[in-house]
């Protein structure tokens, strides 16, 4: 009669493989996918094994955008600010500079297609937890599960931060509240009692300005129209772009009105629970205004102390960093518009999004001669690809603290 073998999770038992280690890994994997506020808007690309760390992808640029009638593509974006008289003259031109053709014409009006290459290099990120055999022998917690969960949550936040950082730095459309100014000038006209503060905060017209820029650049809306309903206090929602905001910007959004005086409409912002019809909400979606649906992220980044200097004796409500009178400056908060097809993440094919490893204290070796130390680790490969940066937008605002 053969000997029954239990197996240790690596070797196979006579009665079948032990699966409790898979249960532990599932806990970590579940935690690693706990949030997808930013990753839900990123396409996914894979770099094949043994093909280096640099990934390249090509795209064709529309021929019309290479030579606009009213300035360069870089200055105006897709079809931006097209003057009627200039375009009319270009269309009629028969000297080779336009689209017109004369009788018996030869080879004129030649155009050259342009192919653009986008590339990114993979980097590796990871964390580990070391523990002793005492944690196994005396702890009342299920450390196999808990440690994997903690690593999973940490890797998830790391992934979200990487995507958010790359989206913010890659945006081809950047609008600063307060006019044609730099971030360092935001808040420069605010007084100690908060006069002019509204000029630099999120507003109905500022959001409209961002939408206009995205439309000019042929960005695709993320959602369809939410049609009307007979339910009381509900509102139809237009097809929209998504925008990701932090809780400080959401706080200011909730009190916004549209118009002024007799024509003021209270609460231009519509909370998600007031949408007129049933619709699929994006993860973290909290409300809508104009042609934008907002997603709140508690992990939204902001730029500390990059705005204008806070006035002396400031008693206002805006967020700032530092000591007043000694270098305090206003904080700047981005509103991120991640439109369809604008951004992608890159992973290593065949490795999974996040890989977990574990060694128990009982795995004795030269570096663990007494069987007292074990570890858990998690790592991933990542790179960000701005596929169409002209369709990524950031609106920078000041916000309430």
Query: Rounded to the nearest 5°, which phi and psi values hold at 225?
Result: -70, 135
pLDDT band at 15 (very low <50, low <70, confident <90, very high): very low
pLDDT at 151: 87
pLDDT at 245: 96
pLDDT at 224: 57
Which of the pair, 158 or 347, is modelled with greater confidence? 158
pLDDT at 338: 92
Q: Which value, to the nearest 10 degrees, does the dihedral of the CA atoms of residues 309, 395, 168, 172 take?
A: -120
Give percent of the chain with pLDDT exceeding 70: 75
Q: How many Å is the maximal CA-CA distance in the chain?
A: 98
Give the pairing type, strands 343-348 and 270-271.
unpaired
* DSSP code, position 142: -
Q: Describe the crossing of helices 20-32 and 143-170 by its angle, rounded to 10 degrees.
A: 30
Name which of 249, 248, 265 is nearest 257 in CA terms.
Answer: 265
pLDDT at 300: 94
Give the Cβ contact number of residue 279 at 10 Å. 16
For residue range 263-299, list pLDDT tens digits in order: 556 678 888 888 766 567 888 889 988 889 999 999 9
Buried b (16+ CB within 10 A) or exposed e, 18-46: beeeeebbebbbebbeebbbbbebbeebe
pLDDT band at 376 (very low <50, low <70, confident <90, very high): confident
pLDDT band at 30 (very low <50, low <70, confident <90, very high): low
Which of the pair, 30 or 191, is modelled with greater confidence? 191
Beta bridge mates, 365: 368
pLDDT at 246: 95
Which of the pair, 28 or 359, is modelled with greater confidence? 359
Give the pairing type, strands 373-386 and 343-348.
antiparallel
Contact by Cβ (8 Å): 248, 401:
yes
pLDDT at 19: 46
pLDDT band at 25 (very low <50, low <70, confident <90, very high): low
User: How large is the average pLDDT for residues 73-88?
Assistant: 60
Query: Which has the minimum average pLDDT: 23-32, 126-135, 144-153, 284-293?
Result: 23-32
User: How large is the average pLDDT for residues 208-229?
Assistant: 75
User: How large is the average pLDDT for residues 155-176?
Assistant: 93
pLDDT at 134: 82
User: How large is the average pLDDT for residues 29-42?
Assistant: 75
**Residues 6 or more apart from 383 whose CB is under 8 A from it?**
55, 120, 121, 122, 123, 345, 346
For residue range 233-269, list pLDDT tens digits in order: 445 455 789 999 999 999 999 988 776 656 556 678 8
* Ranges of each domain in the chain: 18-55+115-401, 68-110
Mean pLDDT of the residues in the chain: 80
User: Does residue 143 carry a pLDDT above 90?
Assistant: no
Which of the pair, 332 or 358, is modelled with greater confidence? 332
User: Does residue 140 carry a pLDDT above 70?
Assistant: no
Which of the pair, 97 or 15, is modelled with greater confidence? 97
Which of the pair, 116 or 254, is modelled with greater confidence? 254
DSSP 27-76: HHHHHHTS--TTGGGSEEEEEPTTS-SEEEEEEEEPHHHHS-TTS-HHHH
pLDDT at 58: 79
Calpha distance 238→295 (Å, rounded) = 16
**Residues 6 or more apart from 378 whose CB is under 8 A from it?**
28, 32, 126, 127, 128, 148, 151, 152, 154, 155, 354, 355, 356, 357
pLDDT at 162: 94
User: How large is the average pLDDT for residues 336-351?
Assistant: 83
């Amino acid at each position: 009669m053969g000997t029954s073998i239990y197996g240790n999770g690596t070797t196979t038992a006579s009665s079948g493989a032990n699966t409790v280690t898979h249960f532990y890994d599932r806990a970590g994997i579940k935690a690693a996918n706990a949030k997808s506020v930013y990753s839900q808007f990123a396409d996914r690309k894979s770099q094949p094994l043994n093909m280096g760390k640099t990934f390249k992808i090509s795209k064709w640029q529309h021929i019309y955008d290479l030579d606009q009638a009213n300035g360069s593509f870089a200055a105006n974006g897709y079809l931006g600010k097209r003057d009627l008289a200039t375009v009319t003259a270009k269309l009629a031109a028969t000297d080779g500079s336009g689209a017109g053709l004369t009788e018996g014409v030869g080879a004129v009006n030649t155009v050259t297609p342009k192919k653009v290459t986008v590339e990114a290099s993979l980097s590796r990120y990871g964390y580990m937890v070391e523990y002793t055999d005492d944690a196994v022998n005396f702890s009342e917690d299920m450390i196999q599960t808990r440690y994997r969960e903690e690593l999973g949550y940490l890797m998830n936040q790391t992934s979200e931060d990487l995507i958010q950082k790359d989206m913010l730095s890659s945006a081809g459309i950047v609008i600063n509240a307060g006019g044609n100014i730099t971030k360092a000038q935001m808040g420069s006209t605010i007084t100690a009692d908060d006069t002019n503060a509204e000029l630099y905060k999120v507003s109905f017209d500022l959001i409209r300005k961002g939408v206009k820029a995205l439309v000019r650049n042929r960005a695709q809306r993320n959602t369809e129209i939410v049609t009307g309903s007979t339910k009381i206090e509900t509102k139809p929602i237009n097809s929209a772009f998504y925008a990701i905001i932090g809780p400080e910007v959401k706080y200011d959004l909730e009190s916004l009105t549209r118009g002024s005086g007799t024509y003021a409409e209270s609460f231009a912002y519509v909370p998600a629970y007031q949408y007129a019809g049933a619709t699929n909400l994006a993860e973290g979606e909290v409300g809508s205004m104009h042609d934008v649906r907002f997603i709140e992220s508690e992990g939204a980044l902001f730029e500390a102390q990059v705005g204008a200097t806070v006035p002396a004796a400031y008693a206002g409500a805006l967020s700032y960093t530092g000591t007043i009178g000694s270098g305090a400056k206003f904080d700047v908060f981005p509103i991120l518009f991640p439109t369809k097809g604008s951004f992608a993440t890159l992973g290593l094919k065949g490795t999974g999004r996040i890989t977990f490893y574990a060694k128990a204290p009982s795995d004795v070796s030269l570096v663990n001669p007494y069987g007292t130390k074990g570890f858990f680790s998690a790592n991933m490969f990542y790179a960000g690809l701005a596929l169409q940066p002209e369709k990524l937008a950031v609106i920078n605002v000041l916000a309430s603290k």
